[in-house]
Amino acid sequence: MDLLNPLDAIFLAIESREHPMHVGGLQLFEPPAEAGPEFTRDLYRTMASATEVRTRFRRRPSRRLGGFSTLSWDHAEHVDLHYHLRRSALPSPGGLPDLLDLTERLHGILLDRHRPLWEARLIEGLDDGRFAVYIKMHHALIDGVSAMRLLQRTMTDDPLDTRVRVPWGAPVVERDDSVPPDSSLQQLRKSLPRMVRSIGAVAAPLRGALDGRLTMPMTAPRTMFNVSIGGARRIAVRSWPLERVNAVRQATGATINDIVLAMSSAALRSYLIEHDALPDEPLIAMVPVNIRSAAESDVSEGNMVAACLANLATHLDDPAARLEAISTSMRRAKSVFTQLPKTEAMVLSALLMTPLGVSLVPGFESLPRMPFNLVISNVPGPRKPVYMQGARLDANYPLSIPFESQAMNITLTTNGDNLDFGIVGCRRTVPDLDRFPDHLENGLAELEKAVAH
């Protein structure tokens, strides 16, 4: 039984039917040229035979400690793989809209808290011969960076390697059973002083934030995204050549992440103008920044991210000026978090995200100011072609969480020579989400035009 860190506890505590707190991914694969009609059936059987399940994929909320299920993890002794891994087929002929329709439905369904908090689906029947894998995990189990590193460990860069590696399978980590594990109360007693010290340690960075170095929560204007949401989802996806983004980066000196935020800012600005809903003040995005070292990727679980708040400068008409404002905002935010050890950075992030929980309290859902308007996350992915049983990963669309009063989420990842975007919105409150990728394309095009002059 393990205690949760503050961010993981928040993700469990604020979940409800209207607010599923799982992250997911939709991968599209091109089967090998020699694949026969039974390729996906055989692949499913091979995946289902991987019955050795690693610790992370056995976790479920504990009902101990007096019923405080959001304080600690329990571990299932038996994992029913035929529940967690399923096979589906699209109606013929199955196009991308059919695949997204199925994925929207799967992404809006809560995970069963009596079972380990993950599910996977192998999907066949696409009319272009490809197949898909959709997988979702509770955000309390995993953050975007560790999810992408986990995915990469299941892939290979050798197209002739036909071994199947599944996310839930891994070599057993030997444990020294001669030393009994701490009891729940012992773990809590050891952790509380460290958490108290961490809260005290963030006082100086918070003072710096109040001096104007950090964009603060509760300063974002209310927009059409900042309304009460339901649990049903809409999804839009598209890929862009990384070469185009790199050309803008080289011309401006901005980071890839800055340019992605500028694309998103332009798209949000155009989308809101299209719906006669652009506020006079700039939108604020929460941008997760990884604080996990490469050495920690295989041994640390849960979330290890800093929650930076970025000014998206959506009030500015000039794309170059927007990019400069975004770069400055992100640079200042990162300078605050780099002062802190990891634990203190996560505590500060939890404090910045606390207003999300406040918005769920009756009477507080209509606060005039928002903690931030939406989350925009850029997760590093594989930089060269990768394969699963000889099938090439053609697209890898990350699908994240629209929070209460934040009806849209934008997440992207690197996939070889592309950037793959997954946009998730509340089905009831975000109309015309399928048009949003067009606005992203226009945002990149106007940056290209600006730097060409």
Q: How far is CA 59 from the centre of its chain?
A: 19
Three-class DSSP category at 73: strand
> What b/e string do you get for 390-427 counting C-beta neighbours within 10 Å, with b at 16 or more?
bbbbbbbbbbbbbbbbbbbbbbbbbbbebbbbbbbbbb
Q: How many CB atoms lie within 10 A of CB 389?
A: 20
What is the token pair recorded at 207?
């003072």
Beta strands in 312-449 (DSSP E): 374-379, 387-388, 391-399, 408-415, 418-426
Residues 1, 182: Cα–Cα separation, whole Å: 9
- Start-to-end CA distance of the chain, whole Å, equals 59
What is the token pair recorded at 308?
């930076």
Catalytic residue, chosen from 19, 107, 138, 139, is: 139
Question: Could you tell me which residues come within 8 angstroms of residue 409 by beta carbon, excluding any fewer than 6 positions away?
Answer: 374, 375, 376, 377, 400, 401, 402, 403, 423, 424, 425
DSSP states along 144-211: HHHHHHHHHHH-BS-TT------TT--PPPP--TTSPPPPHHHHHHHHHHHHHHHHHHTHHHHHHIII
Identity at 373, one-letter amino acid code: N
CB 383 within 8 A of CB 416: yes
Residues 265, 437: Cα–Cα separation, whole Å: 12
Question: Could you tell me which residues come within 8 angstroms of residue 120 by beta carbon, excluding any fewer than 6 positions away?
Answer: 47, 84, 85, 86, 133, 134, 135, 136, 167
Which residue is associated with the tokens 């072609």?
385
Which residue is associated with the tokens 């696409």?
126
| Catalytic-residue membership of 139 | yes
Q: 417: alpha, beta or left, given left = phi > 0 and alpha = psi -120 to 50?
A: alpha
Question: Could you tell me which residues come within 8 angstroms of residue 140 by beta carbon, excluding any fewer than 6 positions away?
Answer: 4, 8, 9, 11, 12, 21, 117, 302, 303
**Active site residue ranges:** 139
